[in-house]
Amino acid sequence: IEELLRRSEKLTTVGQLAAGVAHEIRNPLTTLRGFLQLQKEKGLLIPLHIDLMLSELERINMIVSEFLILAKPQAVHFQEKDVRYILNDVISLLGSQAHLFGIEFESQFSEQPAMVHCEENQLKQVFINIVKNAIEAMPEGGTITVKQQTKENSVIIVLSDEGEGIPEDMLPKLGEPFFTNKETGTGLGLMVSQRIIQAHKGSMEIRSEYGSGAEITIILPAAREPGPQSRID
Ligand code: ADP
Ligand code: MG
């Protein structure tokens, strides 16, 4: 019964999400149609309108690609991976973009391996989403700290920034689809991240005091000791 409940819950959330996505895409589509209609009637192309149309198209593109991350079951392939390498990949991937905004990374990783049973690309996506939010929260620059600890049964990852933080009344809304305070945001990043962490049987917590940055803690179950066949003696 529990499994059934879980499945039907999953179906309703996916359904709600699909409805939300459709709605969010309809808005920019309406704008696009309006501008095209106008050009057809007047027969002239106004550069400002073209820019607006392009940014609406970009918005649709972003919503669809974030949604696809959730809806792509064929890509799910769980393997044992060391989280430290995934974190390093993300840091080097976003490093140059961060550098442009005067942002530095500081990483503090455990000495022991941090093996988790995961779908590497999805986990990478989670860290990318969180680091992107941190970069976007620090237009004046600062430090993003990436801490990782290995415990007996879990791997803990804490990502913190020195941005403006999150107002208290906004905290409960985080992770709701399409909740964003950014002009070009999709409001899907945190929700997608939460879903992915849930699928990895982990937990994700967002802590913030308005004015003094945000801190995201992810706890993942540690993968079991490698079997005898993979041990090098
Ligand atoms: P988006 O980035 O497209 O707005 P997200 O789901 O990634 O969507 O984030 C939702 C909202 O949560 C953001 O619009 C922002 O208001 C808030 N937020 C998330 N991370 C941070 C952070 N590190 N600092 C401040 N606010 C944040
Ligand atoms: Mg985001």
pLDDT at 39 over 70: yes
User: What is the mean pLDDT of the segment spanning 211-228?
Assistant: 85
User: What is the mean pLDDT of the segment spanning 109-134?
Assistant: 94
Which amino acid is residue 112, in one-letter code? Answer: Q
Q: Which tokens is 52 given?
A: 């607006």
pLDDT at 171 over 70: yes
Per-residue confidence (pLDDT) for residue 229, from 0 to 100? 47
Distance 166 CA to ligand 1 centre (A): 8
Nearest C-alpha to atom 7 of ligand 1 is from which residue? 189
The residues near 144 (Cβ < 8 Å, ≥ 6 apart) are: 98, 103, 104, 105, 106, 131, 134, 135, 138, 159, 160, 161
Place of tokens 């680091």: 131
By most ligand atoms within 8 Å of CB, the mutation choice from 180, 186, 207, 212 for ligand 1 is 180
Question: Using the 8-state DSSP alphabet, how is residue 206 labeled?
Answer: E
pLDDT at 230 over 60: no
Nearest C-alpha to atom 16 of ligand 1 is from which residue? 181
3-state class of 223 per DSSP? coil
Check: CB of residue 107 under 8 Å from CB of residue 87: yes
By most ligand atoms within 8 Å of CB, the mutation choice from 133, 183, 184 for ligand 1 is 133
DSSP 103-134: EEEEEE--SS--EEEE-HHHHHHHHHHHHHHH
Nearest C-alpha to atom 13 of ligand 1 is from which residue? 180
Q: Determine the Cα–Cα distance for residues 201 and 223; give it in Å rounded to an integer.
A: 12
β-strand 203-208 against 154-160: which pairing, if any? Answer: unpaired
Q: Determine the Cα–Cα distance for residues 72 and 54; give it in Å rounded to an integer.
A: 26
User: What is the mean pLDDT of the segment spanning 4-17?
Assistant: 60
Least confident among 25-29, 140-144, 222-226: 222-226
Span 88-113, pLDDT tens digits:
999 998 998 899 999 999 999 999 99
The percentage of residues in the chain with a pLDDT greater than 70, rounded to a whole number, is 86
Q: Determine the Cα–Cα distance for residues 180 and 121; give it in Å rounded to an integer.
A: 24
Per-residue confidence (pLDDT) for residue 108, from 0 to 100? 97
The interface predicted TM-score (ipTM) is 0.99
Higher-scoring residue by pLDDT: 223, 179? 223
DSSP 17-70: HHHHHHHHHHHHHHHHHHHHHHHHHH----HHHHHHHHHHHHHHHHHHHHHHHH
